[in-house]
Structure 1
Amino acid sequence: MSGATTTTSPFRALRDQLDAAAQAFADAPDAVSEILSGMVDDVDRALAERLEIFPVCHHSPASALAMARRLREKRPKVVYLELCEDLRDLLPELRNCRLPVALQAFASDLDGFSPGAGPLSVVAPITEASAEYQAIAYALDTPGVELVLVDRSVDHVFQWDPAYSGDPDERPAEGAGDDDGDGAAMHGGAVGIEIGDLRPRFAELEEHLLHHGKVRHWSEWWDQYVEQPLAGADYDTYRQVMVMIGSLFRRLSPARAERIAVDEDRERYMWTRIREHLAATGTDPAEGMYVCGAFHAASRVEEFGVQPRSEGFEITPRTATTWLYGLIPSSHAAIEAQFGLAGGSVSISAATWRKHVSAGGVAPFRLKGQKGTPAGKAGRNSRAAAATVGPAPVADRLSGFLASPPTMDPLDEAELLGWCVDIVRLARRNGYPASTADAIAVYETSVLLAGMRNRARPTPYDFQDAAVTCIEKDTVPGRRDVRRLCEILLGGDRIGEVGYDALPPLARDVYDRLEALGVDLKKRRVQRVLMDLREQPELEPCSRLLWRLRRLLPQGAVRPITGALGLGERSIQESWDLSIGHHQRALIELGYEGVTVEQVLEQRLRAAAWDPKAGAAAALEAVEESILLLDNRRLTDELGRRAVELLAAERAVDDAPEVLRRFRRLLGHYRATEPRLPAWCASFVTTGFAHYCTMLPTSFATEETGIRQVAAMLGFLLTLENTALALGCERTQLELAVKQSHPEEPAKVALLWAAQTRLGVLSRAELRARCAELLGNPLVVPAFPHYLSGFVQALSPVPGLAPFVVEVMSDAFARLPDRVLLPWLPMLITTLREHAREMVPVLLREAGRTFPARLPELDAWTPPWARPEGEPAVAASPAVAVPAGPLTDLLTAHPASSDAVARLLGVEPVWPAVEADVSAPAHPEAAALLERHPAPAAALAALLAAPPLGA
């Protein structure tokens, strides 16, 4: 509890003034007086603490400017920083990066959290225009200065969050707030940690401030009423104002027990760590500085201060979860999206920081060797003061600050003129018909808007509104509107970069292995790579690595333009578009999963196959990827055995089409490349044959099972029948499964008829008769498209049925009258598109072979199925004598096969007389052809152990 301000306090007069104002103007003077006087007490308490408390707001240029000035003045020997204590080892790696970047902790294997809560990730963004970076740069590059992180560990962040330690259904959605563009998605679904989240937690208060401040969002209010006035203020004024604001927002926060409890536990945690360090090192509190958010600077917990009024705070142990730490690129847009800031606000803060630094008002701290540091700026941190400055007497600066109006800075007017000229130039480059008159209009409108909003000077937000009003007319000629051009002008979305030395081993390995390509992978732009693997075989390892990265990295990081990788397919020339630098965060997070890309890929494939929701199709996909991307036969066989297990355990056939498609491809690959099938592949055939035979009758009868699934089951059974029989399966099992199937849906009935035809249970003549009966029944005709969809689906298991399907469809179009056919057509088209879209091309090819190719031939053409019985497709030649021989004897002794082939081609078989001896060939043209090319005939005769014809 905070005590009342004493009579010797420098804030006594301000407290009395606020009490009098509350009594005069407030409806409930006691409550208002308690809030106002409590704010003064909080300021007095924070400033009276022996350990200097430095209140900050995240990514605030005013906080960064005040921090740089105070560090050069005080030169503290120890800096306590509000940041997760287990991120300390990452801080020296910041010098190898280009800001902004984010410190990250990542865990996928969780121990001690609720099931389904992982993976867990925390990020703490760091920008140059932030007070924490100034403190870090000062402490790391100044000899004799110690930097201590005192906030709760990453493990405690999730321990104290009920969403992760309780019900997993209450967990925040992954990637929430990341829909604002590519840069905004750089943090993914990570939990954000920043110093000084200073924003009203009382919605009505924020709405009141925005309304009376005549601003659109909180970032604009903060820039106008806090950032700009405090940017040039002295340290005492800055410190008192920030603590007052933190106290105001804290006292007006809603009484949410969970949020308040977490905040207070954080404050107890930090003060406990500070006292432990002071006791362990013997450091004088006057020689230290505690950097925390202004909200926590106004803390009222009993553990507050180096001499608290309580016995201490017990810190719970961490869980057994293993956390991985690293740096990832960040951006202004990512920070804005994750912490609910207005678009462009961080860029405006960075522009404000650069403006004050360039004006010479402060010398900032920068890490030695920091990427992006201007030449000649490094090494300025080493200048030491003669002696450490102790705490100065506290004086009331709040009264003067609150009573004085803001002043117009001439530098801002010059800056506004420069903005107006530059935005017109930028608009012209992007297709806008802007002129010098527009620059004048933007300037005047900016001043006018600032006056209408009671601002002493135009802000960047006033400038944006004025530019949109004066330059953007009816349409946007290019990709960028004027508001986006203003953001680019004010600094744009700056994106950071993690240096090579700060990358995990996997990322460095990728850079090293792709160095032979001759491109700078750290660049964010898309780079085209051309590879001729025949002329440059040394690039083959690079090609294989790129295909693996394509599987692991997000879409667009590695994109093949030409070239393919498939089973039995390998291109010798490839071209790639590489944007690995743009997706550096994803590459870094791969390093949390393994040391090499191959190790991570193997883990991913195993995880996909052993996922609780995985089916046989997912395991077969993992098998195919292991063959293509990894030269690891052991892993492939392991994944294949897993596919067999999953297929045997399936109780539904929803994935049957995918299983059939993938296994056919794998089977063809093994038959073409290996002398015998792998053991798992043979087991998959036998297991699938038995499994689908068992499931077939139920699938035919169940309405929930679609026609495509049943067709895929039949495709597996009928197309792999020979292989299954060779491996020991029995054909009787398939025949019994077909006999036990009794479908009711028209499509499944047609599919069953096709299967019976394939097995010889139903002849082609009987099938033709059944279809004719359906067309002759007016009650069945409206449902005939469903029968057709079943026949078309049957082309996969029974490809020889294609001529019959063409016959049935042609017969239907010929017999049905227009009054029946016209309402029937839309249903036919939609049914085929829904249930048999992949088989329609097969049907069209067969129709192209059946029908005449030219229109004049159509009038005289008679379809094979419409010819009178006994009439051949073409004029039959007169019976001729055929020379006797072994081939003739074989055909005449077994005429059934030849008769079947003839009828399939629409020709009635007519057997000519066989003569033992002839002097002239029956077909002179054929004889002449054989004389010119005797080799094929001789080879065929040798194969049949017969003398060549004409010998």
Structure 2
Amino acid sequence: MSEATLSPPEVGAGDGLVALRERLREAAEAFAGPGDALPGILAGMVEDVDRALAERLEIFPVCHHSPASALAMARRLKEKRPRVVYLELCEDLRPLLDELRNCQLPVALQAFATELDGFPAADAPLNVVAPITEASAEYQAIAYALDTPDVELVLVDRSADHVFQWRDREDGPEQRPAAEAGETEGGSGTAEDAEESALHGDALGVGIGELRPRFAELEAHFLHHGKVRHWSEWWDQYVEQPLAGADYQTYRQVMVMIGSLFRRLRPERPGRLAVDEDRERYMWTRMREHLAASGTDPDDCLYVCGAAHAASRVEQFGLAAEAEPYAVPPRTATRWRYGLIPSSHSAIEAQFGLAPGAVSVAAATWARTLTRERLTPFRLAGQRGGKKSGAKRAVRRTVGEAGAAAATDDDRLTGFLARPPVPHALDEAELRGWCVDIVRLARRNGYLASTADAIAVFETSVLLAGLRGRARPTPYDFEDAAVTCIEKDSVPGRRDVRRLCAILLGGDRIGTVGYDALPPLARDVLDRLAPLGFDLTARTQRRALLDLANQPQLRPCSDVLWMLRHLLGDVVRPVMGSRALGEVGIQESWDVALGRHQQALVQLGYEGVTIEQVLEQRLRRAVRGPDATAATALKAVEEAIRYLGGGRLVDDLGARAVELLAAERTVDDAPLVLRRIRRLLAYYRTTEAGPPRWAQTFVVAGYAQYCTLLPIAFTDEAAGGRQLGAMLGFLFGLEGFALSLGCDRAQLELAVRQSHPTEPDKKALLWAAEHRLGLLPMAELRDRCAALLDNPLVVPAFPRYVSGFVQALDPVPTLTPFVVEQLSGAFARLPDAVLLPWLPRLIMTLRKEAAELLPVLVREAGRTFPAALGAVDGFVPPWSLAAAPAVAPVPPAAGAAGALLAAHPAGCDAVAALLGLVGEWGHVAPTAAGAGPAGSLLAEHPAAAAALAGLLAPAG
């Protein structure tokens, strides 16, 4: 449209916007044709503006975190002095607003729920945040209402419960979680920004007045023709700057027009439209109810809402509407908790999809405009980080004057649209200061910047502003120029030039919640950690040194820090010291960052009054959950002993562990169960009372349970060697304790005899169990392994057998020399053609399935093989002594017969077996008394042996 088309008409005071509507219709028909939808859209926009401004209850349209809206709000509040302020914000957040004076902005109002009733349990926890910054219209309204006598602040938007009830019907950026909104318009930011950007966690963000095109084509059109990179820059240039100095009527008309434009040009999403309209019905219903109940004159009220809601077309719009009030749906039975959490500019940008630095630029614009116009904004009295409020110094105007100011209907929109905004002149001093400061900051961060770069940034900023049709470079032009002239193609440090520009132009301001605004748990934690002697609310990480031996008064601080470590993770991190079962610390060192992670501490306060209560609740919840196992319950028992000192809670958790173990039908958690029950029993053996009753019952139940499941696990494909080894470790390792409590060993023998595995590693485990029970002698076990190596078809699977034997080292540790023997024999017997392809598989199998038991094997090999290289050539393996007849010790009394029998031990063993003396051939002691049963037989009857030798070998 040309300027001639929209030249200001001659409009009288009573004509309103009729003339503008007709001229827009004529221009649209001339531009698009009579059958196009554009004339109706433009005419409808003007009708929306006319309708909103004609409403008796004054509507103040805003855009969230907009300095222009904040400036207009501050001016209007000083003029009108309303007695009631209706604010578009979740109505159940109202009690939190009084605590803002104890905080340093920006902060966020939060509603949090962990115990759900009416929502799917998988959605827990539910989290809603509403960020508040000083350069926002909502804060100006809040500060005015709370610090001005006889002024009431009423929140009229849906509750946090309704936000999640209606969530499935909407998908706008105002309602997306911060974790999903992480990538902003200008990029994802640097790694240094990630922590500040995640201050809101996975909460849904709600704000006042989200104004943005809701489909990509329209936004791309604006960005292309506006010659800007992202929406935040377009909004700053074409809305914020022109409206910063506009009068109130112009501001209202323009904002309603923009809200109407985006409302009419949105894609067809019936669900989102229905939610927006239901919110508007909700708000108008709440305002009517309050007016009826309080009897307040609507002329003394101000309704602050988003510009899109000001252009609403719902039937309940306006006090004169005759439609039935909206039936507010009931809330669910979910219990909501409320509090304040720290926020930051980058967190707000990530939450609402704004460009990095957009909120910082808005804050700088707000401060600069206040200085230029000498305007005193509203601030809460005693607000941390702010000056004393000037609200009480203003004088209330009469109702008639306020009504006259609001009732004017002059056409300011035509003049605003017909004339381009008057740009501010180039402030060379300000731009020169930016250029010098960015070069200085860049040099501190490792860039090779100089005065020449400062001059280049200055000239490039002016050039970019000219190319983009601007008379004055904006912070965005300066940022692009600095990146072009300084950063070039490399970043020498952690911070790139764009991040340095954000720091220079105001930085990422981070708010804090004051002590008085914290929940009771957070205050209790700060009080109990006060003996550490430093500011726990500071955002810097501090090192705490605890000399517990010489300063026993610090032991309660240690207890609190360990519980916080368990509940909050890296918020507090131990550098030195540990908290194990039965361990008493002497010295500890901690990195404490409670001020930096204040949000986590606040949300922890929603779960209880003290951290001990929260920890107990979490432990009880963990063992009662649908996914709870015996291993989970044993872990909870261990944590209860370490952090809470035991007592009745440990007995309850232990009893639950017994129930869970008896109900399990798989052995997936057997390794965890074995490791944790061993640790607990070792701890209890150091106490005077010994293992409690629940631990005894657990061992008895586990012995019976694993005996029952053992035959099934040996044939179950889902049960691996690690699980079977853990089961056998439980049965053999705790066998003595279990038998003393009344268990029957026959049950275990029967379970082993009933096991018939087919997998190689499981076979090895079964052989180890049979040997442990005395059902498989060592000689037969050696013969079976020798047969495996002699069979070329089985040799490729031998690593699986070795893996099974290594897994058996836990339940049968006496097999360690045997496993070393088998590995050595395999390396000695297998040819290179077989060994070289076989060796990598062996290593990978052992590493995957028995990594934690390999050190035991390595230590045994170290004891077996010589430590010096020179002794290797003469080394004789101990297991070869039994296989070599020449080195077998012979009783001196046997003579030549003894030598013959030593050369043929099988015959001697056969004769000994016929006589009922079953045993192995002695090969260790060199005397007859220590030669085993066969040697003893020869020593007692040498004549018979000599006669037999003479028959077999007369010459000997």
**Correspondence for 1:192:** 205
CA distance in 2, matches of 1:14, 1:118: 52
Residue 321 (structure 1) aligned with residue 325 (structure 2)? no
Deviates more, 1:423-432 or 1:400-409: 400-409
Query: What 5-or-longer segments of structure 2 have no aligned partner?
Result: 1-10, 189-193, 894-918, 931-956
- 2:289 partner amino acid: E
Q: Is the 8 A contact 2:72 2:248 kept in 1?
A: yes
Q: Is the 8 A contact 1:873 1:907 kept in 2?
A: no
Q: Is the 8 A contact 2:889 2:925 kept in 1?
A: no
**Correspondence for 2:316:** 303
Q: Out of 567, 585, 589, which is 1:571 matched to?
A: 585
- 1:840 partner amino acid: L
Tell me the alpha carbon deviations over residues 1-52 of structure 1, each in whole angstroms, 9 at most, x when there is no partner. xxxx999532122112211111111156441111000000111111111111
Deviation (angstroms), 1:133: 0.2
Deviates more, 1:199-208 or 1:133-142: 199-208
Tell me the alpha carbon deviations over residues 144-202 of structure 1, each in whole angstroms, 9 at most, x when there is no partner. 2111111122222223333799xxxxx98794335851112211222211110111123
Q: Is the 8 A contact 1:243 1:298 kept in 2?
A: yes
Q: Out of 850, 857, 863, which is 2:864 matched to?
A: 850
**Correspondence for 1:514:** 529
Q: Is the 8 A contact 2:127 2:204 kept in 1?
A: yes
Deviation (angstroms), 1:911: 5.5
Deviation (angstroms), 1:453: 2.2
Residue 99 (structure 1) aligned with residue 113 (structure 2)? no
Q: Out of 174, 177, 180, which is 1:176 matched to?
A: 180
Q: Is the 8 A contact 2:178 2:351 kept in 1?
A: no
Q: Out of 592, 596, 600, which is 2:614 matched to?
A: 600
| 2:327 partner SS | coil
Q: Out of 392, 417, 426, which is 2:432 matched to?
A: 417
- 1:908 partner amino acid: A
CA distance in 2, matches of 1:408, 1:51: 34
Q: Out of 145, 166, 186, which is 1:160 matched to?
A: 166
CA distance in 2, matches of 1:28, 1:579: 66
- 1:25 partner amino acid: F
**Correspondence for 1:948:** none
Deviation (angstroms), 1:759: 1.0
Q: Out of 10, 16, 21, which is 2:22 matched to?
A: 16
CA distance in 1, matches of 2:816, 2:208: 71
Q: Out of 645, 657, 665, which is 1:643 matched to?
A: 657
Deviation (angstroms), 1:418: 1.9
Deviation (angstroms), 1:416: 2.3
**Correspondence for 2:58:** 52
- 1:785 partner amino acid: P
Tell me the alpha carbon deviations over residues 439-490 of structure 1, each in whole angstroms, 9 at most, x when there is no partner. 1111111122222222332222221111111000232111101111111112
Tell me the alpha carbon deviations over residues 197-225 of structure 1, each in whole angstroms, 9 at most, x when there is no partner. 11112332112212222222221211111
Residue 216 (structure 1) aligned with residue 229 (structure 2)? yes
- 2:677 partner amino acid: F
Residue 505 (structure 1) aligned with residue 520 (structure 2)? yes
**Correspondence for 2:759:** 745
Deviates more, 1:154-163 or 1:603-612: 154-163
- 2:780 partner amino acid: E
**Correspondence for 2:242:** 229
**Correspondence for 2:924:** 907
Tell me the alpha carbon deviations over residues 759-790 of structure 1, each in whole angstroms, 9 at most, x when there is no partner. 11111111111111111111111111111111
Residue 729 (structure 1) aligned with residue 743 (structure 2)? yes
CA distance in 2, matches of 1:328, 1:535: 37
**Correspondence for 1:121:** 127
Deviation (angstroms), 1:411: 6.4
For the structure 1 residues 860 and 780, does the alpha-carbon distance in structure 2 shift closer, same or farther, using more than 3 Å as the test? Answer: same
Deviation (angstroms), 1:677: 1.7
For the structure 1 residues 368 and 411, does the alpha-carbon distance in structure 2 shift closer, same or farther, using more than 3 Å as the test? Answer: farther
Deviation (angstroms), 1:282: 2.1
- 2:303 partner amino acid: Y
CA distance in 1, matches of 2:610, 2:778: 59
| 2:597 partner SS | helix
- 1:80 partner amino acid: Y
| 1:867 partner SS | helix
- 1:24 partner amino acid: A
Residue 801 (structure 1) aligned with residue 818 (structure 2)? no
Tell me the alpha carbon deviations over residues 656-675 of structure 1, each in whole angstroms, 9 at most, x when there is no partner. 11111111111111112244
Tell me the alpha carbon deviations over residues 909-943 of structure 1, each in whole angstroms, 9 at most, x when there is no partner. 63569xxxxxxxxxxxxxxxxxxxxxxxxxxxxxx
**Correspondence for 1:382:** 393
- Note the 1:239-278 alignment, pairs <5 A: 239-278=252-291
Residue 348 (structure 1) aligned with residue 366 (structure 2)? no
Q: Out of 610, 615, 618, which is 2:629 matched to?
A: 615
- Note the 1:695-844 alignment, pairs <5 A: 695-844=709-858
Q: Out of 447, 464, 479, which is 1:464 matched to?
A: 479
For the structure 1 residues 30 and 673, does the alpha-carbon distance in structure 2 shift closer, same or farther, using more than 3 Å as the test? Answer: same
Q: Is the 8 A contact 1:872 1:908 kept in 2?
A: no
How many aligned residue pairs are there?
Answer: 880
Deviation (angstroms), 1:869: 5.9
For the structure 1 residues 403 and 586, does the alpha-carbon distance in structure 2 shift closer, same or farther, using more than 3 Å as the test? Answer: same
Residue 653 (structure 1) aligned with residue 657 (structure 2)? no
**Correspondence for 2:902:** none
CA distance in 2, matches of 1:461, 1:9: 41
CA distance in 2, matches of 1:736, 1:413: 94
| 2:570 partner SS | coil
Tell me the alpha carbon deviations over residues 719-753 of structure 1, each in whole angstroms, 9 at most, x when there is no partner. 11111111111111111111111111111111111
TM-score by length of 2: 0.89
CA distance in 1, matches of 2:614, 2:772: 47
CA distance in 2, matches of 1:637, 1:495: 45
Q: Is the 8 A contact 2:377 2:389 kept in 1?
A: no
- 2:462 partner amino acid: V
Q: Is the 8 A contact 2:14 2:410 kept in 1?
A: no
CA distance in 2, matches of 1:720, 1:6: 99
Tell me the alpha carbon deviations over residues 688-717 of structure 1, each in whole angstroms, 9 at most, x when there is no partner. 111111111111112221111111111111
CA distance in 1, matches of 2:578, 2:481: 52
Q: Is the 8 A contact 2:73 2:141 kept in 1?
A: yes
Q: Is the 8 A contact 2:176 2:204 kept in 1?
A: no
For the structure 1 residues 533 and 905, does the alpha-carbon distance in structure 2 shift closer, same or farther, using more than 3 Å as the test? Answer: farther
Q: Out of 405, 408, 427, which is 2:423 matched to?
A: 408
| 1:480 partner SS | coil
Deviates more, 1:205-214 or 1:24-33: 24-33
Tell me the alpha carbon deviations over residues 856-900 of structure 1, each in whole angstroms, 9 at most, x when there is no partner. 111111110112569999999999xxxxxxxxxxxxxxxxxxxxx
| 1:542 partner SS | helix
**Correspondence for 2:89:** 83
CA distance in 1, matches of 2:85, 2:923: 95
| 1:824 partner SS | helix
Deviation (angstroms), 1:515: 0.5
Tell me the alpha carbon deviations over residues 790-819 of structure 1, each in whole angstroms, 9 at most, x when there is no partner. 111111111111111111101111111111
| 1:559 partner SS | strand
CA distance in 2, matches of 1:416, 1:510: 47
- 2:180 partner amino acid: A
Q: Is the 8 A contact 2:376 2:390 kept in 1?
A: no
CA distance in 2, matches of 1:55, 1:386: 22
- 1:483 partner amino acid: R
- 1:177 partner amino acid: A
- 1:60 partner amino acid: S
- 1:826 partner amino acid: P
State the identity %.
Answer: 68
CA distance in 1, matches of 2:105, 2:441: 26
TM-score by length of 1: 0.89
Q: Is the 8 A contact 2:79 2:397 kept in 1?
A: no
Residue 688 (structure 1) aligned with residue 705 (structure 2)? no
Deviates more, 1:475-484 or 1:446-455: 446-455
| 2:824 partner SS | helix
